[in-house]
Amino acid sequence: MSVNNHREAEERFGAYVDGLSSVIGHPRRRRQLRDYCTGLVLPGERKSVEPLAARTDPARTAAQHQSLLHFVGNACWSDEDVLAKVRQMVLPALEKDGPIEAWIIDDTSFPKQGKHSVGVHHQYCGQLGKQANCQVAVSLSIASRTGSLPVDYRLYLPETWAKDRARRKKAGIPKEIKFKTKPEIALDQIRRACEASLPRGVALMDAAYGRDARLRAGMSELNVSYVAGIVPTILMWGPGAGPRRMDKPMNNTGRRDEPELVTAKTLALGLPKLEWCTVKWREGSAEQLTSRFARVRVRVGSNKLIPEKSSAEWLLIEWPKSEAEPTRYWLSTLPETISFTRLVDLAKLRWRIERDYQELKQEVGLGHYEGRGWRGFHHHATLCIAAYGFLVAERATIPPSGPRCAPPLPAPRLPDDYRPRGSALAA
């Protein structure tokens, strides 16, 4: 990058942090905010507080360490206000080459060795692909065709933590935080996005969330369309079938006998060959990808079998020719008139959240926070999302070459020797 480009990047970064400073509160915090965000976007393998202090004020590392530690772990500034400001400033860059198309629900995990960090528990760790000691956070991201940004982020608090008063007090968990499942947290995030009037997108989620009927129903009540991954054992009525009369007696399993109810897998295996089509879509900067899909209109079964809650929706199935059976299933409340290609394209857009988490962890140190408290965990994540937002906006300044798909970060960033002006004065 040229000297002029470096200078321009510094100026844009300064203006960006100034915008964030407007919602951070006390003037002293503005300097700490600038230094912390600077440390996150500067090169470096480790981005916990001490290395950030060494990068941003090497002449006064110990004092800077204490200053940043207080700012991220103890200072009472609002994560919600900062994230809202990030959205406001980054949204124009996300929409530069096309509208917001998706709201993506997912979670990410952070392996931990000890047992004292807030929310740490032996649970499924996606990063390791197995049960392990870790923290898990649920997020909601908004995505256009060329970029994405997390807009809500909350630690999942296991029930054992939620009920342990001593651990709650030590970790500084607010009294209003109660136990909620991950799908319940996700629905809260969807609800807040609606209340904030964010540009609407189709909600995308994997089967860990899509299998939750209450989450799907909650989104429908909010008029949020979805393409939700599901497990193949979910029961449904195929085309032309549906729930029967409510006065039919239940059997000994608690479900009324419904001979037409079948699993998604059974329905998929019974589809005629003519229903399967090869569909192309584009993912990231790669060439077009192809696979074999089928889609049918179905109604999902429920124990109560209330007809008005069994509206017709799409069942989308992927069955690559190289596989012995279908590999993926989705339910979608998108209109019956949506094209086959568009339905597949939206289902596959969920890849953006994987890119988000990869870059948040590798580029700005999302998983590097070493504190144990609730406030510090969320403050660090908020600042990482803020730093990531700057990089997303910077990426939007790069002229596209070829098909306009999101290149991986890093985008143009601050030079290695950049230091915040006045950092030696930071207390």
**Are residues 275 and 417 located together in one domain of the fold?**
no
**Are residues 100 and 241 located together in one domain of the fold?**
no
pLDDT of 330 higher than 70: yes
Q: Report pLDDT for 311.
A: 86
Q: Report pLDDT for 404.
A: 46
pLDDT of 158 higher than 90: yes
**Are residues 154 and 226 located together in one domain of the fold?**
no
* Residue 233 placed within a domain: yes
Q: Report pLDDT for 306.
A: 42
* Residue 157 placed within a domain: yes
**Are residues 281 and 259 located together in one domain of the fold?**
yes
pLDDT of 267 higher than 90: yes
Of 300, 334, 349, the last residue of a domain is: 349
**Are residues 308 and 357 located together in one domain of the fold?**
no
* Arithmetic mean of pLDDT over the chain: 88
**pLDDT tens figures, 230-256:** 999 999 999 877 766 444 555 555 555
**pLDDT tens figures, 176-191:** 999 999 999 999 999 9
Q: Report pLDDT for 46.
A: 92
Q: Report pLDDT for 301.
A: 83
**Are residues 8 and 144 located together in one domain of the fold?**
yes
* Residue 404 placed within a domain: yes
**Are residues 278 and 310 located together in one domain of the fold?**
yes
* Residue 13 placed within a domain: yes
For the segment 352-368, the average pLDDT, to the nearest whole number, is 92
For residue 396, what pLDDT band results from cuts at 50, 70 and 90?
A: confident
* Residue 278 placed within a domain: yes
pLDDT of 104 higher than 90: yes
| Domain of residue 162, residue span | 3-201+353-425
Q: By percentage, how much of the chain surpasses pLDDT 70? A: 85
Of 329, 349, 369, the last residue of a domain is: 349
Kindly report the three-state secondary structure assignment for every residue of the chain.
CCHHHHHHHHHHHHHHHHHHHCCCCCHHHHHHHHHHHHHHHCCCCCCCHHHHHHHHCHHHHHHHHHHHHHHHHCCCCCHHHHHHHHHHHHHHHHCCCCCCCEEEEEEEEEECCCCCCCCCEEEEECCCCEEEEEEEEEEEEEECCCCEEEEEEEECCCHHHHCCHHHHHHHCCCCCCCCCCHHHHHHHHHHHHHHCCCCCCEEEECHHHHCCHHHHHHHHHCCCCEEEECCCCCEEECCCCCCCCCCCCECCCCCECCCCCEEHHHHHHCCCHHHCEEEEEECCCCCEEEEEEEEEEEEECCCCCCHHHCCCEEEEEECCCCCCCCCEEEEECCCCCCCHHHHHHHHHCCHHHHHHHHHHHHHHCHHHCCCCCHHHHHHHHHHHHHHHHHHHHHHCCCCCCCCCCCCCCCCCCCCCCCCCCCHHHCC
Q: Report pLDDT for 79.
A: 97
For the segment 367-395, the average pLDDT, to the nearest whole number, is 95
Of 332, 349, 366, the last residue of a domain is: 349
For residue 397, what pLDDT band results from cuts at 50, 70 and 90?
A: confident
* Residue 171 placed within a domain: yes
For the segment 291-301, the average pLDDT, to the nearest whole number, is 95
**Are residues 398 and 300 located together in one domain of the fold?**
no
**Are residues 339 and 358 located together in one domain of the fold?**
no
**Are residues 288 and 241 located together in one domain of the fold?**
yes
**pLDDT tens figures, 11-68:** 999 999 999 999 998 888 999 999 999 999 998 889 999 999 999 999 999 999 999 9
Q: Report pLDDT for 7.
A: 83
Number of domains in the chain: 2
* Residue 206 placed within a domain: no
**Are residues 143 and 275 located together in one domain of the fold?**
no
Highest mean pLDDT among 118-122, 251-255, 300-304 belongs to: 118-122
More confident residue, 257 or 130: 130
Highest mean pLDDT among 125-129, 143-147, 153-157 belongs to: 153-157
The whole-model pTM stands at 0.89
pLDDT of 295 higher than 70: yes
**Are residues 29 and 177 located together in one domain of the fold?**
yes
pLDDT of 385 higher than 70: yes
